[in-house]
Amino acid sequence: MSDVEDHGYDNYDQEGDERHEENEEDVENDDTNDEPPRRKLYEDDDDEDEEEEEEEQTGRKEKKRAKHRHKRDRAARFLDIEAEVSDEDEEEEDDEEYGVDGFIETGGAEDDDSSRRHHARLARRQMEEEEKSPEQIARDLNQRYGGRAAVRYTGDMNEIPQRLLMPSVHDASLWQVRVKPGREREIVFSLMRKSIDLEYTARPLQILSAFQRDSLPGMIYVEARSSQQVSQAVNGLVGVYPSRGIHLVPIEEMASLLQIKKQDTTVTPGTWVRIRRGQYAGDLAQVVDITENGEEVGLKFIPRIDLTPRDDGGDKKRKKTAGMRPPQRLFNFEEVVKVYGRNYVSKRGPAFVFQGDTFKDGFIEKDFKINALILEDVNPTLDEITQFSRRQDGLEENMVDLSIIAEASRKAAISVLQPGDHVEVFEGESAGVHGIVEEIAQDVVTISPVGVELEGQKVELPARSVRKRFKPGDHVKVMTGKNADETGLVVSVTDNVVTFLSDMSMQEVSVFSKDLREAAEVGSGTNVVGDYELHDLVQLDLQTVGVIFKTERDSFRVLDQNGQVRMVQPHQISMRRDSNRAIATDSEGHELRVNDNMKEVDGEGRKGRVLHIHQSFHAFLHNRDITENGGVFVTRARSLVSLAPKGNPLKLAPGADLSKMNPAIQPQGGMVGSGMGRGPRDRHIGASVLVIKGPHKGYQGTIKDTNGQVARVELNTGNKLISIDKSKLYRKLANGKTEPLDAPSFNRGPRNGNMDPPLSLPNGNRNSNPYAAAGGRTPGWGGGRTPNPHANSSATPAWNSSSRTPNPYAGSATPAWNASSRTPNPYAGGQTPAWSASSRTPNPYASGGATPGRNHSASSGGWGGATPGRNTSWGGDGWKSPERSGWGSDVWNAPTPAASAATPAASAPTPAAFAPTPGAYAYSSSMSAPTPGVVPNTPGVMDYEDSAREPYSPPDDWLLDDRIAPHQTKLRVFIQGSVMPPYLDGAYEDRTAVVVGTTRVRENFEQTAFLRFDDDGEERSILSRYIKPVLPKSQDEAALVICGRRKGEMVRIRQKPDSQETIEMVVVESIGSAGAAYWECQKDHMCAVVG
């Protein structure tokens, strides 16, 4: 080491060395302090040599001080007067005052008092060195002191290539330690301080270093020889998780831990950044200049000056906190002066100073710390950039500043380039060349140019100077930004702004070329628009639901339950429906749920996965292989069959009591999948119980809820709810006796009596599949002797109420149904053969469903009294009559008497008497809701609710009614009322005709229709108000319903009208789309049609 280098830095040398040596000594010999005198002996020799050399070499003023010290030391050699502490002081003095030392050897290790302590060791070393060769000694010396000069910046290590510093097996290992995220720095600091604190103790830390990287949160790395040293070091530190393992870092990964570097976010003038905090948070700014150390940057951005400052002047703080921040607005001298006064704004050259900020060209220029800025993902929008460029200065008003935009898109451009992209070079010496990207290596792209001169060569270019090239006519897709996924046809290209015509919105969209990609596909990749998603079941209007099978930019295509495709916008959807729990019945009577794989039994035999079920009737399925409607199709649940064999019917419902699942009493034969998603209600709920054990022993109460073996019991006394084990409860019977809760008994209570055999019933009873139950195929039903209606009525309130009633019927052989129905007569026949017969009929609903309904109305009291005729016929021998038994097979033979029975009722003077009738039908409709074919007839009947048999006269424009108009050319009409006052001389009065056509005329004109008269074939237009429908007269005649809910439906008369009364009810059969359904219709609600 040269003199020059050493000059003046020895104070550091010394100290570093001393400290180092001290350390060693400490480690080697903990009881150093015991032997200071011996040390001094050695020390003195050294000191003397040293002293002389020093004097010779330096001759500076330090000499004096050194001498002084020397003297003191001489005395001290005999007196161990110096306390250990004083070393520190001395050292510090040395640090400050000892500036120069000529020789390496004298450099400081031998400095008098401070080095005393390692003389013992030096002596040892001397002994050793005497045995060494001179070369060895020289090398050792070099090794030992060569580095000493480094405790000042020598940079001697700077010359060593980094690769030579790679760790070797001789180096200590790195250990990864898990720590609490966010506390990494603190922990590294703690380790540092801990090691200093424990340095001179008996157990110093043995780790060599520890470090943390911001990019590796939740871990620190400790350099040590063994993991034990690491755990010893971190022991006791808060936030360190040594229990999560101290992992050895493989030697080859050590260097990379220190090499990690965040993607360089170099800031150069012109770079776009965003401001992180404060009033301008989120605002885009452009870098104007950067301080030398790169810590602060000068930014230019659009100021937000409050031009409407509040007047409450002094209260600055409140002003700052309250209110919104002012809008972005360029600085305008006049404006600001007007608001704040001339004194507040000063002009300095081209710039203005206002409130301590400098404004130039309308922009504010301000210095920011770099960590107050967002440098990554700035993504300036075109709008923001044009705001800058437009206002740059007056001259370039319309020019979009190329460099600005280029800069903005540059960085991103590098990452979005792909091999095969067509690019052009827009800067540098090859500017203008375009070609195809061959390969990309970091920032360098290789392109094979398409052009005259360079054809065939490959050119390497910085990625930042190429941009994607599009030409008008290209079909492109937007990859990022707010227009993402938009596709379209390029119409123009201006530099790197591409304008294209969107495929979806048919509007022009301008985007940066970097965000574009050539793409063949059309349409949007998104499946979500608004709150709705692909394959959602949505309610379109009251009657219509549909499944979204395609989403577009802001609309959907929906397949409704009628199989029609509609284009819908999100606001037209009233709600999304959830059919996750919906269940339907497939063609085999099995349960059908969402996500089942099903197949059509008829029609096209399409397969698919059930997406949704609507009202247990329609099923929406999806199959990728079907191209039509995005693979979604709708079909009737009844025409589906499962692709997979149905699983175990014993599927355990959550919370189900195993004891209820006794296979012996399970339904057999086709009751598949009757296990419901919802667990059956515990049959103990509501039971009156007596506590027989525990602190509440003797209390009575009611079970409110159960959870497994624990019941929640509401005590009759104290209004208290307790949780108690079921085994501690006894059921309290009505007769005052008690019995175990689970004791099998037929006499237990209303419910159990009813549900006999009780244990199977929770299943059958709650089956969502009424068919299975109604079909009476369950052995439970057979044994139960209970007629069909029970299954259905289980859902009615009547059932519940009856089940909760105290048990007056216990022990009764008659099912509780009788009791609850409260009608003594007709249903006493519950056990009559007639009933079982009807329950076995193929269409049990027609009877079974309707019966409770009537029953219901009967209980309301209206029925029996009001229609005596009917009452007798039903209540008397009606049930046993052959007609009745024929109901199921030939439904409409049976109603005939009923209908005719209605006739006298209609003439009954009390219209109120009639009210219950529709009620009865209504009830039956709700009961049989899932049965197609029966459903439609009921609402029709309900139509008469209000119109109760009043002659109907159609409005003047009835022909134009939306639902009639499609059939209008078939309608048979006649002319009425043209005599008085005369219309066309009354020549057409009473003549029948067929409508040829009519269209709505404008207001203020009388509506006409074009008719062809039957008798002479004359065709002419007639004022609509004279046109009246021809009523159907004969059986099997076709007619159109022109009034009521079923308006527009084609029917066929199935019952010969036997009177001239226009309000006569006739039985009709729906034909066409609604399927065959029989119902009654008032005659003048129909219009006869041709054919």
Partner 1 sequence: MTAVIPPSKSRQLRACLLCGLIQSSNDFRFNGCPNCEDILQLKDSADRVMTCTSTYFEGMIAGIDPENSWVLRWQRTSKYVRGMYAVRVRGRVPEDVEAELESRGIKYRPRDLSLDQD
Only one of the segments 286-294, 397-405, 729-737, 1045-1053 lies at the binding site for partner 1 (rule: CB under 8 A); that segment is 286-294
Q: Does residue 433 belong to the site contacting partner 1 (CB under 8 A)? A: no
Smallest gap from Cβ 96 to partner 1, in A, equals 11
Distance separating alpha carbons of residues 1051 and 577, to the nearest angstrom: 34
Residue 701 pairs with which residues in a beta bridge? 689, 715
Distance separating alpha carbons of residues 900 and 1080, to the nearest angstrom: 11
Among 208, 219, 237, 929, binds partner 1 (CB under 8 A): 208
The residue among 199 and 554 lying less far from partner 1, judged by its C-beta, is: 199
Smallest gap from Cβ 595 to partner 1, in A, equals 51
Smallest gap from Cβ 4 to partner 1, in A, equals 9
Among 33, 243, 263, 293, binds partner 1 (CB under 8 A): 293
Q: Does residue 236 belong to the site contacting partner 1 (CB under 8 A)? A: no
Smallest gap from Cβ 256 to partner 1, in A, equals 10
Smallest gap from Cβ 66 to partner 1, in A, equals 20
Token code pair at residue 684: 């103990």
Smallest gap from Cβ 30 to partner 1, in A, equals 18
Only one of the segments 186-194, 415-423, 474-482, 1004-1012 lies at the binding site for partner 1 (rule: CB under 8 A); that segment is 186-194
Smallest gap from Cβ 151 to partner 1, in A, equals 6
Transcribe 210-224 into DSSP letters.
EEE-TTSTTEEEEEE
Q: Does residue 145 belong to the site contacting partner 1 (CB under 8 A)? A: no
Distance separating alpha carbons of residues 604 and 607, to the nearest angstrom: 9
Distance separating alpha carbons of residues 640 and 629, to the nearest angstrom: 19
Nearest to 882 by CA among 894, 871, 897: 894
Smallest gap from Cβ 230 to partner 1, in A, equals 12
The number of angstroms, rounded, from the C-alpha of 407 to the middle of its chain's C-alpha atoms is: 36
Smallest gap from Cβ 8 to partner 1, in A, equals 6
Q: Does residue 158 belong to the site contacting partner 1 (CB under 8 A)? A: yes
- At position 1072, the amino acid (one-letter code) is G
Q: Does residue 721 belong to the site contacting partner 1 (CB under 8 A)? A: no
Smallest gap from Cβ 124 to partner 1, in A, equals 20
Helix, strand or coil, per DSSP, at residue 529: strand
Q: Does residue 855 belong to the site contacting partner 1 (CB under 8 A)? A: no
Distance separating alpha carbons of residues 901 and 918, to the nearest angstrom: 15
The residue among 45 and 197 lying less far from partner 1, judged by its C-beta, is: 197
Per-residue x/- mask for partner 1, residues 315 to 354, rule CB under 8 A? ----------------------------------------
Q: Are 501 and 489 in contact (CB under 8 A)?
A: yes
Only one of the segments 202-210, 491-499, 618-626, 818-826 lies at the binding site for partner 1 (rule: CB under 8 A); that segment is 202-210
Only one of the segments 289-297, 847-855, 977-985, 993-1001 lies at the binding site for partner 1 (rule: CB under 8 A); that segment is 289-297
Name the helix (H) or strand (E) containing 360.
strand 357-360
The residue among 140 and 401 lying less far from partner 1, judged by its C-beta, is: 140
Distance separating alpha carbons of residues 535 and 558, to the nearest angstrom: 9
Smallest gap from Cβ 241 to partner 1, in A, equals 18
The residue among 15 and 1080 lying less far from partner 1, judged by its C-beta, is: 15
SS (H, E, C) 816-854: HHHHHHCCCCHHHHHHCHHHHHHHHCCCHHHHHHHHHHH
Smallest gap from Cβ 50 to partner 1, in A, equals 20
Among 57, 154, 358, 379, binds partner 1 (CB under 8 A): 154
Q: Does residue 231 belong to the site contacting partner 1 (CB under 8 A)? A: no
Among 123, 137, 188, 899, binds partner 1 (CB under 8 A): 188
Measured in degrees and rounded to the nearest 5, phi and psi for residue 1050 equal -85, 135
Q: Does residue 102 belong to the site contacting partner 1 (CB under 8 A)? A: no
Instruction: Please count the helices (runs of H) and the strands (runs of E) in the chain.
Output: 31, 52
Distance separating alpha carbons of residues 435 and 451, to the nearest angstrom: 8
Long-range contacts of 372-375 (CB under 8 A, 24+ apart): 372/275, 372/276, 372/277, 372/278, 373/273, 373/274, 373/275, 373/276, 373/285, 373/297, 373/299, 374/273, 374/274, 374/275, 374/276, 375/265, 375/267, 375/271, 375/273
Q: Which of residues 23-42 bind partner 1 (CB under 8 A)?
A: 23
Q: Does residue 200 belong to the site contacting partner 1 (CB under 8 A)? A: no
CA dihedral 186→192→193→198, nearest 10 degrees, is: 140
The residue among 6 and 50 lying less far from partner 1, judged by its C-beta, is: 6
The residue among 291 and 595 lying less far from partner 1, judged by its C-beta, is: 291
Measured in degrees and rounded to the nearest 5, phi and psi for residue 54 equal -55, -50
Among 3, 8, 235, 415, binds partner 1 (CB under 8 A): 8
Among 26, 53, 129, 147, binds partner 1 (CB under 8 A): 147
Among 65, 72, 77, 152, binds partner 1 (CB under 8 A): 152
Burial of 536 (0-12, 13-18, 19+ CB in 10 A): buried
Tell me the pairing of strands 272-275 and 284-290: antiparallel
Q: Does residue 205 belong to the site contacting partner 1 (CB under 8 A)? A: yes
The set of residues, in sequence order, having a beta carbon less than 8 Å from that of 803 and lying 6+ positions away, is 686, 750, 751, 754, 816
Among 16, 36, 886, 1048, binds partner 1 (CB under 8 A): 16
Smallest gap from Cβ 188 to partner 1, in A, equals 5
C-alpha distance from residue 56 to each of 46, 52, 53, 60 (Å): 16, 6, 5, 10
Among 207, 375, 537, 772, binds partner 1 (CB under 8 A): 207
Only one of the segments 82-90, 291-299, 373-381, 510-518 lies at the binding site for partner 1 (rule: CB under 8 A); that segment is 291-299
Q: Does residue 261 belong to the site contacting partner 1 (CB under 8 A)? A: yes
Smallest gap from Cβ 447 to partner 1, in A, equals 26
Q: Are 1001 and 1024 in contact (CB under 8 A)?
A: no
The residue among 295 and 393 lying less far from partner 1, judged by its C-beta, is: 295
Q: Does residue 626 belong to the site contacting partner 1 (CB under 8 A)? A: no
Nearest to 1033 by CA among 967, 1084, 959, 964: 1084
Q: Does residue 165 belong to the site contacting partner 1 (CB under 8 A)? A: yes
Among 141, 189, 355, 955, binds partner 1 (CB under 8 A): 189
Q: Does residue 263 belong to the site contacting partner 1 (CB under 8 A)? A: no
The residue length of the chain stands at 1091
Measured in degrees and rounded to the nearest 5, phi and psi for residue 682 equal -60, 130
Q: Which of residues 357-396 bind partner 1 (CB under 8 A)?
A: 369-371
Q: Does residue 1006 belong to the site contacting partner 1 (CB under 8 A)? A: no
Token code pair at residue 651: 């599927």
Token code pair at residue 750: 């209303």
Helix, strand or coil, per DSSP, at residue 420: coil
Q: Does residue 185 belong to the site contacting partner 1 (CB under 8 A)? A: yes
Among 79, 81, 83, 160, binds partner 1 (CB under 8 A): 160
Among 123, 150, 504, 1063, binds partner 1 (CB under 8 A): 150
Measured in degrees and rounded to the nearest 5, phi and psi for residue 370 equal -65, -30
Q: Does residue 209 belong to the site contacting partner 1 (CB under 8 A)? A: yes
The set of residues, in sequence order, having a beta carbon less than 8 Å from that of 956 and lying 6+ positions away, is 1007, 1024, 1025
Distance separating alpha carbons of residues 633 and 603, to the nearest angstrom: 12
The residue among 221 and 500 lying less far from partner 1, judged by its C-beta, is: 221
Residue count, binding to partner 1 (CB under 8 A): 68
Contact footprint for partner 1 (CB under 8 A): 5, 8-9, 12, 15-16, 18-20, 23, 147-148, 150-163, 165, 167, 171-172, 174, 184-186, 188-193, 195-196, 205, 207-215, 221, 223, 254-255, 258-262, 292-295, 369-371
